[in-house]
Structure 1
Amino acid sequence: MAELHVELVAADHLVWSGDAVIVSAQTVSGSIGIQAGHTPVLGELTSNTVVIRQESGEAVVAAVHGGFLSFADNKLSLLAETAELAKDIDKARAERALERARTSHDAAAERRAELRLKASMALLSK
């Protein structure tokens, strides 16, 4: 099966790079799945999880906050404002951050913490 090359980049560092058979992401226009041979596309990412499915069947899950995706010539670039791999998320720390955000009524921090928890839980179900 043809693979596509994927690079997930946060504003300040490369988060993940490798080959995949499909990538699922959420854009402002809706959900999108990208496979090799997809029509070239440019989209604006929403804060949500991105799932990168490798040929082995393993899923790489990331919490992504804003940014863009670009696909052409079997190369997908996910350029996020911030991104974190689910496997690197400390669930207890994310839960504490969510509680702090709720206590301080910081809606943006609350959304970020909720997404980190969602990504960490999504990894368990993949």
Structure 2
Amino acid sequence: MKKLTVEVVTPDGRIVNDQFDMVVVHSEKGELGILPGHAPLIAPLIISSARLKTGNESMKVAIGGGLVEVDQDHVTLLAQSAETPAKIDVQRARKAKERAERRIQQKRDHVDFRRAELALKRAINRLNMIDEDI
């Protein structure tokens, strides 16, 4: 059976570089399931989790937004940030969530609100990855 070569790349470096049967990501237009032989595409990713599947095994990666590029049997997730559940610092994610919630409640100006909203989404996404792993 054909496999997908999957890379998850952030500004800090490569997080994943392996072979998988299927990739599921969340784009701005909805959920995308990518199998070998998928048509080429580029789509923006939202803050969410990516699922990388091989047989009965599944690996999740917290994605902090970015792009997915599919070309032949190669999938590249160019993410602003990405972490596997094992790499997530729970205390740091909880503190980030609390900080973002405080900023949102203050409602100082539009730019700070948008940044706080995105920070809150990233923190919740990271914490959800931990909760699913328990």
Tell me the TM-score normalized by structure 1. 0.88
Where structure 1 has 5 or more consecutive residues not aligned to the other structure, the ranges are: none
Q: Does residue 18 in structure 1 map to residue 28 in structure 2?
A: no
Deviations 1:21-57 (A, max 9, x none): 01100001110010111111111111111011123x2
Q: C-alpha separation between the residues in 2 aligned to 1:73 and 1:108?
A: 32
Q: C-alpha separation between the residues in 1 aligned to 2:129 and 2:22?
A: 18
- Structure 1 partner of 2:54: 54
- Structure 2 partner of 1:83: 82
- Structure 2 partner of 1:69: 68
Q: Does residue 98 in structure 1 map to residue 97 in structure 2?
A: yes
Q: C-alpha separation between the residues in 2 aligned to 1:21 and 1:83?
A: 20
- Structure 1 partner of 2:108: none
Deviation at 1:84, TM superposition (A): 1.1
Q: C-alpha separation between the residues in 1 aligned to 2:100 and 2:66?
A: 23
Deviation at 1:74, TM superposition (A): 0.3
Q: SS of 1:46's equivalent?
A: strand
- The question of whether the paired residues in 2 share the 8 Å contact of 1:95 and 1:113 is answered with yes
Q: SS of 1:104's equivalent?
A: helix
Q: SS of 2:38's equivalent?
A: coil
Structure number with the higher helix fraction is: 2
Deviation at 1:121, TM superposition (A): 2.5
Where structure 2 has 5 or more consecutive residues not aligned to the other structure, the ranges are: 105-115
Distance 1:33 1:59, change over 3 A: same
Deviation at 1:81, TM superposition (A): 1.0
Q: C-alpha separation between the residues in 1 aligned to 2:119 and 2:17?
A: 27
- Structure 1 partner of 2:117: 107
- Aligned identity (percent) is 29
Q: SS of 1:39's equivalent?
A: coil
The count of aligned residue pairs is 123
Tell me the TM-score normalized by structure 2. 0.83
